[in-house]
Chains A and B, each alone.
Chain A
């Protein structure tokens, strides 16, 4: 490795570069959050959408390269650490031993060895043994995998970046507005990238919104049917936090609104003789049984002048035109204003005598705003996230630890010296060694 180092390699293997790149990315993000977001799709340029700007892509590419090469560069070190033999132990490891790390006993070597083995085998692995000077050296190792936590984290970051890339290249992001009863297979792609045709079509069967007593929204729900080649394949409901997936395309409840074509249920009758119910929206016309007249719905209003729902009709008899409003709550309005029809004939629903019109109700039709997403990168990002967590936990909550225990013959018994090395958190290991020594001396005193 050392020979093949060239300029490229040494540039990208520097941790200084990592820190500089991270710093630049942080700077870019800070600037980006303060820039106003593009107000519409046409305005998108690299300046107000820094997250998708060439500048960010360059930084992300440099960062990925840096991560790969740094990891490759340090891998041999980790492998060396992994394969480091227990024997001989690092030089001078038993020098300057503290008094607390030495246990003396009048037992013989065989008894000592049995007790040492018993304590060192207590967890996970049994100790290795070797002849050493005038005694026996034991070594117990644990948490080897801890050395690879860092690599796991770096790998997972790369997997997440790869997943994001896959998503942005092969993914699909758009939205569609469907009126109740409407069927469509077209979605509007984000950022003004045009319209995309799905290989199937979606119908919104029903949209409903529920409210709490406080007036805050409780549930938004769209019931959808999916058709392929004119055939109903599946039905399902989409709620906020509960998307529905059909053929790898996920549908999310994103927004809703009132469809602009409110339908009015209009009733007319003439002294109980002729009567009819008509459903019409703004601009619709219908025939009347008198004077060959035709009625046109000029306006449909949900709440006009604070008097509630009303429609404005124009009746054309061929000779003259009569226009008037038909209020849903005409009885209440007339009761409150006794001379209403005399003062405002326009409010009289019986203006085209003998027919009297009434408005039974307005059918509010909603449209549902769906987000439509296909992202093949999600499994990568998810597994990257899980690996990242595993890696972090390995790095910060486990350590590669090795304990050496030297059992020596003494003129009047045996001497046990204990020492150890940890890849991190030496203090924790020292506490463990202290406990080990206490247990050993207790056991050997018996």
Chain B
């Protein structure tokens, strides 16, 4: 069970990375930022390795399926997608201040996966309902979407925080917020991540529909998880239209991105408390 051990280290590394990002924000020393990035990269690579090892372990046990089949594995993959997308964004905007809002989400998911009571961490063969080629595509696209929404959420928090600081200290240019990405960049990032997530979630919903068509006999059954994914999708549709057609910018957009992320969390975890066909995740 090497992968379990690696994953517990990864959880710890993400936490350390978060602490470094926090130091970077408070102390305004670039060295902390570099350390934080390094830690996130290390965590991400180990995370990838653990994912591959778990996949291989399932092959060695004789069933062989991508580790995307229960709540535990989905939490691990969700955290992986967030780390992946965050590192891509960090590399693109060449700014490390977003990490303080995004990396802790990855850490919390990993921590939840390892400490939640009754979490089944075993590798198990697939029950008939999950024996489908659509499983991997569906789960992959949904979680890439969720991860993009998480990045949008991080940007939105950063936006609101910076906006508030700048309003309160308009005269003496606040040293803390100076090194943050500009509000324009953050606004664009919220929009771009939300759009990316919107497309991925659309693919996720469509592949899920196709799968449901083969598995349940209906492409749409108003199952709570389906309905909530549609709710999430519509909230982001409102966000995109509000920006594109009505020209919403800045704070209002950021608030919508936060509302959208709350929907994502409910779609992912909250729905499990409602009766559902999606009982395996």
Contacts and interface: CB of A to CB of B under 8 A. Distances in A.
Contact of A29 (B231, B238, B275): B231
Nearest to A16: B246
Interface string A317-329: 0000000000000
Interface in A231-257: 239-243, 250, 252-254
Interface residues of B, number: 43
A44 B214 CA distance: 26
Contacts of A375: 218
Interface stretch (A137-145, A196-204, A212-220, A438-446): A212-220
A402 to B, nearest CB: 20
Interface string B241-254: 11001100000000
A393 B196 CA distance: 10
Contact of A378 (B124, B131, B219): B219
Interface stretch (A31-39, A95-103, A290-298): A31-39
A26 B235 CA distance: 8
Contacts of B128: 217-220, 239-241, 253
B228 A33 contact: yes
A205 B20 CA distance: 66
Contact of B238 (A23, A34, A240, A388): A23
Contacts of B214: 241-243
Interface string B101-118: 000000000000000000
A214 B126 CA distance: 11
A263 interface: no
A220 B132 CA distance: 14
Contact of B196 (A16, A25, A217, A396): A396
Given A29-B230, A33-B227, A243 B217 contact: yes
Contacts of B213: 378
Interface residues of A, number: 46
B127 A217 contact: yes
Nearest to A384: B206
A239 B274 CA distance: 28
A299 to B, nearest CB: 33
B262 to A, nearest CB: 11
4 smallest CB-CB distances across A and B, nearest first, come from A240-B128, A252-B217, A371-B217, A385-B206
Interface of A: 15-16, 18-19, 22-23, 25-26, 29-30, 32-34, 37, 51, 164, 173, 212, 214, 216-220, 239-243, 250, 252-254, 371, 373, 375, 378, 381-382, 385, 388-389, 392-393, 396, 427
